[in-house]
């Protein structure tokens, strides 16, 4: 029986789109679903502020009457304006191991993008750099973090068979918590702090960090991430959305703020207890029982996930990011954390990878962004 595609147009269909991976990855412990409410909000055109400058279409594939795949096509106009490339994006892509299904899904995105005047399609990417991105090509036995996708090894075979080639890779590291901070690191960070005139801001509650640093944090992300692959500036509405999404769960033990003598933001590191096990067990849902697993993960963490790290460009050469990492590692030691997941780091970002040179680590995952030129 041939493959049929259905364009997602109703809320009921969108829920099917969001829930498809739960069927595909049933009983696969490496797969971690995104929070369902976040996925629905991100994909809804009446909820996500990215639609002020993005357009998107979603498709579901069926074979023999059964759900067989999904894909999103996205055009980010701010990306086109910033980078000068008329590229569409594919994302939220999942499919059974059937070339007919994957071909139909990608053809839908390519035809849509071509009709919109795009020159190429690249991905997997989201609406912004803060969405899940990249196709897993190494590390299939490793559990995903809440910030990243998991996919079967056959995805790479299908995507490359359809004419997509490598655009760029992201690396991921698992950094073990040492028994104590190396003396060399302690000495260096003390010297750096004195020379740079910066110090760690001792914050007490989430309300304080939101009110004092919420918007400056994301302004700093825009500034420091500006040259990274695929990034676009955030709108005011996006910033407010991400403040709620990221800062609502921060833990004072593992989120560090770096300020100057006038208490102006210089840098920060947002690290949180891993939610992978919690959301795997709850299937991405908070209610009715998801809260139990989430609270358990927050109260008794053994693994940390590193989400966002940024330092003002003029301070980066002074090495002050080491102050942030030292503080986070010290908190990890005190909390009995076994290791931290770095999440995605561009393979070209050697400065970030150099942060871990004094800590035991292993590079255990690799993700890839693919690109395909469209026929004129």
Q: Is 268:257 a contact under the CB 8 Å cutoff?
A: yes
* Among 360, 328, 18, residue whose Cα is nearest residue 176: 360
Nearest alpha carbon to residue 124 among 21, 37, 46: 21
- Which tokens sit at 154? 């056959």
Contact call for residues 196 and 312 (beta carbons, < 8 A): no
One-character DSSP codes across 26-67: TT-TT--PPPHHHHHHHH-TTT-GGGGTEEEEEEEEEETTEE
Q: What is the pLDDT along the chain (376 residues), one digit of tens a residue?
A: 689 999 999 999 999 999 999 999 999 999 999 999 999 999 999 999 999 999 999 999 999 999 999 999 999 999 999 999 999 999 999 999 999 999 999 999 999 999 999 999 999 999 999 999 999 999 999 999 999 999 999 999 999 999 999 999 999 999 999 988 888 888 888 888 888 899 999 888 888 888 889 999 999 999 999 999 999 999 999 999 988 887 877 888 899 999 999 999 999 999 999 999 988 888 878 767 677 778 887 888 999 999 999 999 998 878 888 889 889 999 999 999 999 999 999 999 888 888 787 788 999 999 999 999 998 7
- The token duo for 53 is 């400058």
Query: What secondary structure, in 3-state letters, does 96-141 show?
Result: CCCHHHHHHHHHHHHHHHHHCCCCEEEECCCCCCCCCCCEEEECCC
Query: Tokens 């990221």 belong to which residue?
Result: 246
Cα distance between residue 67 and residue 96, in whole Å: 9
pLDDT of residue 339: 96
Distance CA 342, CA 364 (A): 10
Q: Tokens 């969001």 appear where?
A: 18
**Which class for 84: exposed (0-12), middle (13-18), buried (19 or more C-beta within 10 A)?**
exposed
pLDDT of residue 291: 74
Q: What is the CA radius of gyration of the chain?
A: 21
Burial label for 126, CB within 10 Å (0-12, 13-18, 19+), is: buried
CA distance 227 to 94: 29
The pLDDT assigned to 1 comes to 62
Q: What is the dihedral of CA 84, 88, 94, 96, to 10 degrees?
A: -120
pLDDT given for residue 228 in this prediction: 93
For CA atoms 173, 364, 354, 182, the dihedral sign is positive
pLDDT score for 6? 98
Neighbours of 357 (CB within 10 A): 8
What's this model's pTM, rounded to 2 decimal places? 0.94
d(CA 307, CA 246) in angstroms, rounded, equals 9
Query: Helix crossing, 206-224 with 236-247: angle to 10°?
Result: 130
Say which residue the tokens 């569409």 belong to: 88
66/1 Cα distance (integer angstroms): 11
Domains of the chain, with CATH numbers? 3-170 (3.40.630.30), 175-366 (3.40.630.30)
- Angle, in degrees to the nearest 10, between helices 11-24 and 36-43: 130
Q: CA triplet 292, 298, 300: central angle to 5 degrees?
A: 95
């Amino acid at each position: 029986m041939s493959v049929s595609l259905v364009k997602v147009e109703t809320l009921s269909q969108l829920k099917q789109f969001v829930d498809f991976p739960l069927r595909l990855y049933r009983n696969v412990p490496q797969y971690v679903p995104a929070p369902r409410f976040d996925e629905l909000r991100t994909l809804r055109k009446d909820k996500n502020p990215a639609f002020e400058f993005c357009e998107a279409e979603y498709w579901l594939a069926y074979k023999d009457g059964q759900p067989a795949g999904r894909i999103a096509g996205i055009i980010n106009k701010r990306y086109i304006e910033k980078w000068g490339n008329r590229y569409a994006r594919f994302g939220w892509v999942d499919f059974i191991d059937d070339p007919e299904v994957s071909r139909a899904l990608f053809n839908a995105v390519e035809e849509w993008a071509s009709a919109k005047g795009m020159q190429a399609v690249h991905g997997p990417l989201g609406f912004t750099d803060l969405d899940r991105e990249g196709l897993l090509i190494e590390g299939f036995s490793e559990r995903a973090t809440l910030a990243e996708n998991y996919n079967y090894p056959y995805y790479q075979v299908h995507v490359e068979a359809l004419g997509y080639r490598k655009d760029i890779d992201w690396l991921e590291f698992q950094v073990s918590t040492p028994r104590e901070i190396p003396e060399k690191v302690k000495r260096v960070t003390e010297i750096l702090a004195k020379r740079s005139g910066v110090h760690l801001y001792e914050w007490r509650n989430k309300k304080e960090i939101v009110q004092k640093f919420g918007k400056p944090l994301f302004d700093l992300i825009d500034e420091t991430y500006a040259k990274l692959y695929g990034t676009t500036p955030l709108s005011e509405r996006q910033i407010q959305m991400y403040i709620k999404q990221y800062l609502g769960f921060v833990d004072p033990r593992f989120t560090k703020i770096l300020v100057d003598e006038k208490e102006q933001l210089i840098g920060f590191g947002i690290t949180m207890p891993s939610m992978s096990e919690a959301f795997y067990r709850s299937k991405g849902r908070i209610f009715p029982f998801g809260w139990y697993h989430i609270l358990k993960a927050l109260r008794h963490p053994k693994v940390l996930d590193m989400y966002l790290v940024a330092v003002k460009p003029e301070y980066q050469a002074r090495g002050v990011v080491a102050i942030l990492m030292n503080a986070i590692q010290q908190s990890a030691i005190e909390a009995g954390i076994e290791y931290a997941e770095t999440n995605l780091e561009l393979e070209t970002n050697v400065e970030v990878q150099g942060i871990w040179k004094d800590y035991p680590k292993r590079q255990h995952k690799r993700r890839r962004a693919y690109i395909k030129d469209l026929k004129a």
